[in-house]
Amino acid sequence: MDNNIVIPEKGRNREAILEEMREFGKNDPDYKNGKTWSLVYYLGEAYAQFLNEAGQMYASSNGLNPMAFQSLKRFETEVVRMTATLLNGDDEVAGIMTSGGTESCLLAVKTYRDMARKKGIKKPEMILPESAHVAWEKGAQYFNVKAVHVPLDKDYRVDADKVRKAVNKRTVMILGSAPGYPHGVVDPIEQLGAIALEKKVPLHVDACVGGYLLPFVERLGYRVPKFDFRVQGVTSISADTHKYGFSAKGASTILYRNMDILEHQMFVFTEWPGGIFASPGLLGTRPGGNIAAAWAAMQAMGEDGYLENAKIIMETTQQLIQGIGAIEGLEVVGRPDMSLVAYRSTSNRINIYALGDQMEKKGWHIDRQQKPECLHAMVTPLHRQVMTQYLADLKESLEYVRSNPKLSLQGGAATYGMVSKIPFRGMVKKNVLKMMREMYGPSGKALDFSKSDTGQKGFVEKIARLFLKFKS
C-alpha cells in the first residue's frame, strides 16, 4: 500500500464499491463459523440482518442533543431502565448509554475523580484488582488517577483483605469485576461492598462482559455470586449491550445508584460561541443507529431469548471445561463463573503457546494471555456446533506439541517465551509503540504476520500479534 491514496476524482459506481468492500473482508477472521473465541458475538445471519435494519433506520440521527431526537432519547432511557431492572436496581438508578465498555469504564473513573475533588482529594487513587480490564489502566492514565493494584487470591478473585488495606484517604473508588476478562471469575463483590460502606468509598462493578449474561445464568439455577445493585455498597455498574446483550457494536451502558453520583459525569460549558453545551458522556456526536439497535436487540431477544442463549452458552462452556479437564497436561485456570475460560499447561513438556500455534494451524483464532501463561476462550452460542471439533483439535495439537519439544523454540511460542523473559518491560513497551507508529503512520500499514521472523523487525511484528489484545 502506498501513501498516495486520494479521494477518487469522480464518484464511483456504488455497486462496484460494495463489491470491492466485500473483497476487503475475505481474509478477516471466520467468526460466522465459530472460529474466533473473542471479539465477535454473532447469532447468525438473520439476526445480524435485523440488527442492521434497526440500526440503519436511525443511522443518520444523532444522540448528542437529547432534545432533538426524542426517538433516541426514548431508546436510551428504555435501555437504561431495562438494564437497571435486570441488575436489580431500584427507581433511583440512573445512567446513560455509551459507545462501548471502554467509554463506560473511562466515565466511571472521571465521575469518581470529580466527586472526590469536591471533597478536596487532590492526588486521587483507585483500587484495581490485578485482573481488571485494561480499560481501567487507560482511565487511570487519561484522567490522572493513580492505579493501585491488588493481587488475586488462589482462586483468581481479588483478595478483599488486601483491598481493605489498600484504601486510604486518597482512594476515589474501588473496582470489582463480574467477571474479569482474563479468567472469567467474579470478584467477591459482597465483601468489597462491605469495605466500600465501611470506608465510605464508591464501588464500581465492571460487568461489561457479564452484565447481560450473569442474571440469566443465575435464573437457570447456576451458582452466581451476587454482584449487582442488591449488594449494598455497589454505587455503579457497567454492562455492554454489544457483548452478551447481542446488540450491534458500539453500545454499552453505565448505571449509577442515583442521580447525585451520575451528575459528576456531566459536562456543561456555558461560554462556547456555538451555544451553551451539555453532554453526558465522552462523545459529542452519538451515533443514533447503535442506540436504536441496542433497544431493538433487547426487544428481539426478550427474557426467553436471553435465557435460551445463556443455557446454550453455559452448557457449551461446561463441555469445554470438562473437555480440557479430560486432557492430560492441561488445566482450567481458576473456576470460571460463566463463559470465559483460560487454560494452561500442567506439564513442563507442553509449552502452552506452542499449543496455541498448532491450534491456529488448524484454523482457530487463539488468544494468548500472560500471568499466568495460558490460552483463552470466550464462548458464544455459535460455539455449540464446533466445540467437539475444538476439543478434538486441542487433543491432537497437544500430542503433537508433546512429541515435538522443539516447537517451543519456534513461532509464537518462542517469541512469547522470549518476551516473558525480558527483564525490562520498558523495552517491550517501546517495541509495541514502534509497531503502533507503523500501523497508524501515514501508510497505515497492515502488519503482515505471514512473513518469517527475521531480526528486530520480525520480533516487533510478532509482539504485535501475540501481545496486543484487540479483544472484546
Ligand X SMILES: *Cc1c(COP(=O)(O)O)cnc(C)c1O
Residue type, 466: L
Residue with cell 474501588: 174
**String of contacts with ligand X for each residue 127-146, x by CB under 6 A:** ------x-x-----------
Told to check if 181 binds ligand X by CB under 6 A, we report yes
d(CA 295, CA 241) in angstroms, rounded, equals 9
What length does the chain have?
472
| 345 forms part of the interface with ligand X (CB under 6 A) | no
Smallest distance from ligand X to CB 243, Å: 6
Q: Is 187 in the site for ligand X (CB under 6 A)?
A: no
C-alpha span between 447 and 436 (Å, rounded)? 10
- Nearer Cβ to ligand X, position 158 or 407? 158
What is the spatial distance between Cα 147 and Cα 208, in angstroms, rounded to a whole number? 19
Q: Are 343 and 334 in contact (CB under 8 A)?
A: no
Site string for ligand X, 80-109 (x = CB under 6 A): --------------------xxx--x----
Site string for ligand X, 24-43 (x = CB under 6 A): --------------------
Shortest distance in whole angstroms from residue 249 CB to ligand X:
8
Q: Under 8 Å CB-to-CB from 307, ≥6 apart: which residues?
A: 216, 219, 220
Residue 402: CB minimum distance to ligand X, A: 33
Measured from the CB atom, the residue of 313 and 330 that comes closer to ligand X is 313
**CB of residue 353 to ligand X, shortest distance in Å:** 22
Residue span binding ligand X (CB under 6 A) among the ranges 202-210, 220-228, 379-387, 430-438: 202-210
Are the C-beta atoms of 52 and 44 separated by less than 8 Å? no
Closer residue to ligand X in complex, CB, 102/397? 102
Nearest-approach distance from CB 239 to ligand X, in angstroms: 10
C-alpha cell at 237: 455498574
Nearer to ligand X, 125 or 240 (CB): 240
To ligand X, the closest distance from the beta carbon of 64 in angstroms equals 20
- Choosing from 191, 236, 316, 472, the residue that interacts with ligand X (CB under 6 A) is 472
Judged by CB under 6 A, does residue 411 bind ligand X?
no
Interface with ligand X (CB under 6 A), residue from 106, 150, 208, 301: 208
- Report how far apart, in Å, the C-alpha atoms of 435 and of each of 304, 357, 453 are: 45, 22, 15
257-273 per-residue burial string, b: 16 or more CB within 10 A, e: under 16? beeebbebbeeeeeeee
- The stretch among 204-212, 313-321, 347-355, 395-403 that binds ligand X (CB under 6 A) is 204-212
State how far the Cα of 215 lies from the Cα of 200, in Å rounded to an integer: 27
With contact defined as beta carbons under 8 Å apart, do 245 and 253 qualify?
Answer: no
Under the binding rule (CB under 6 A), the answer on residue 205 touching ligand X is: no
Q: Which three cell numbers stand for residue 412?
A: 509464537
Residue 225 binds ligand X (CB under 6 A)? no
Q: Is 206 in the site for ligand X (CB under 6 A)?
A: yes
Q: For residue 337, state whether it binds ligand X (rule: CB under 6 A).
A: no
| Nearest to ligand X of 159, 240 (CB atom) | 240
Dist CA 446 CA 439 (whole Å): 6
The rounded distance, in Å, linking the Cα atoms of 123 and 131 is: 24
CA dihedral (238, 241, 245, 249) in degrees, to 10, reads -140
Q: Is 182 in the site for ligand X (CB under 6 A)?
A: no
76, 240, 373, 461: which one contacts ligand X (CB under 6 A)? 240
Q: Is the peptide bond before 179 cis (omega within 30 degrees of 0)?
A: yes
Burial class (CB in 10 A: 0-12, 13-18, 19+), 164: middle
Smaller CB distance to ligand X: residue 40 or 413? 40
Nearest distance from C-beta of residue 181 to ligand X, angstroms: 4
Among 36, 38, 111, 177, binds ligand X (CB under 6 A): 177
* Comparison of 101 and 202: residue with beta carbon closer to ligand X: 101
The reply on whether position 341 binds ligand X by CB under 6 A is no
Alpha-carbon separation of residue 212 from 55, 85, 228, 301 (angstroms): 20, 11, 11, 11
Binding of residue 281 to ligand X (CB under 6 A): no
Give the interface with ligand X as residue ranges (CB under 6 A).
100-102, 105, 133, 135, 177, 181, 206, 208-209, 240, 252, 472
